A and B are shown apart, each in its own frame.
Chain A
């Protein structure tokens, strides 16, 4: 197998020891199927050291986005380091319009995603802590009775590794892993705050996809403030004041202490010509105080025509 460097991982891990062996048994929260595999996950044989673009293309292809490793190479491959940095892998997945969600560094999270049919990009160290050989691969399935993981890796379309060997190589990267999913699909192992944070990162580069993903988050966690504000902001950005107002209203109703929600509601109401209501909302924002009080004051000035 050709080597592939994750330069940043090497830096970050210079002083780290490996994690203890992970728990690969069935989780307490609910039984997993004994076997799962995304047999249709596309395979791109890796060229030279370019495991990053190949792994990313597999993950995006499984999410329904056809992007070739050649296309992705410019976004994630650093010729001088012969490798791809982890943050760039996540950023490139976002630029393609998927939610790049980092998994909790534990086997259960990986198994849950695979059981849901979500291929997982993993970072492995194929050698030793003191002479690392970093490699990105995509886990596409597992077989618990046989204690195996199935990967798209390097030039191998269906690499079967024992759970033990895989876990040892993966633990050396502190079990770094992510899924790249279409914005209407929640990761099977999603944590509320982590998922919404991943969508906020997506909003910067792909606001339309982020709007869908905020809806996905709100279906799972209807009272999440940040997702509700994000939904309002993305609707506002696309010029849909109805949707923006509805979102900010809901956010302020669910969280009366959220100055940001009142502030943005005031803006939208003002732009719709409802100045009295806008002033009320701005005053509610100011009453909540907080670090953005100056912004709220400017909003009040603006909507009062001062």
Chain B
């Protein structure tokens, strides 16, 4: 049953790409042989941008978790350092962005403030839920 469904899907995709090939070749014929095929697999600027900020967000969260005092607190809550890092990689873009924004809005300073405590607990919850 699931196999049949899959092959049906595959067939559909093949039909689609065959159609695409036919239409692009027709277009190429119509425009003349010299005209290159303008088929955009171009990465748009907004796409390139999401990638950048997502990476930056992830780096920010990881960097925060790498701080010795934060690491210690997370471990005290039963979240192991190495595993936690892996799970951060698994969080989706929105969650990561929300965390990174919170880190940004925190005042910089040495001691752990209430804000940071809240953040540490949030990370702990997110990471444990993602298990």
Contacts and interface: CB of A to CB of B under 8 A. Distances in A.
13 contacts: A203-B46, A229-B43, A233-B44, A260-B47, A260-B48, A260-B51, A267-B42, A270-B36, A270-B37, A273-B36, A290-B51, A291-B51, A302-B41
A96 interface: no
Nearest to A227: B45
Given A225-B52, A302-B37, 12 more contacts: A196-B49, A204-B46, A226-B45, A229-B43, A229-B48, A233-B44, A263-B43, A270-B36, A290-B51, A292-B43, A292-B47, A302-B39
Interface size, B (range) = 10 to 19
Contacts of A230: 45, 48
A272 B38 CA distance: 10
A299 B41 contact: yes
Interface string B37-70: 1111111111111011110000000000000000
A249 to B, nearest CB: 15
Interface string A271-290: 11100000000000000001
Contacts of B48: 225-226, 229-230, 260
Interface in B25-45: 36-45
Nearest to B44: A233
A292 B46 CA distance: 13
Contact of B49 (A200, A273, A295, A299): A200
Interface of A: 196-197, 200, 203-204, 225-226, 229-230, 233-234, 236, 260, 263-264, 267, 270-273, 290-292, 295, 298-299, 302
Contacts of A233: 42, 44-45
A203 B43 contact: no
A197 B41 CA distance: 22
